[in-house]
Amino acid sequence: MTAQIPSTGRRTIAWPSVITVLSAAILISAEVFGAAFAGGWALAIMLPPDDFFLSISQDTWAHILQAILFAVGVFVMITFVRGAQRVEPFTRRA
């Protein structure tokens, strides 16, 4: 195997790729975060805090579940953008 020497040439931003990934990320994030908030609310109704011996209100329990699902959504979006960047590189050699 031979080691590849990194190029020292200029790199430019590939705007069509950036716009494509950004547009897809906006669309997908609207779905992911909408599902996180709706899912947190639905889970709070299906799994009341009394079932887990928690002495908190139903609204607080819903916010906790929404925050957990929101964090999962952030992970999903980071994974999506990193994967999309591999397919559609944001820079190219000039």
Query: How many other CB atoms are there within 10 angstroms of residue 62's CB atom?
Result: 19
Q: Which amino acid is at 71?
A: A
Contacts of 41 (CB under 8 A, 6+ apart): 62, 65, 66
Please give the angle made by the CA atoms of 71, 65 and 83, to the nearest 5 degrees: 25
Query: Would you give the DSSP letter of residue 11?
Result: E
Answer whether 61's CB lies under 8 Å from 48's CB. yes
DSSP class of residue 48 equals -
One digit per residue, pLDDT tens: the chain, 94 residues? 566 666 667 899 999 999 999 999 999 999 999 999 999 999 999 998 888 788 899 999 999 999 999 999 999 999 999 999 999 999 998 7
pTM: 0.79
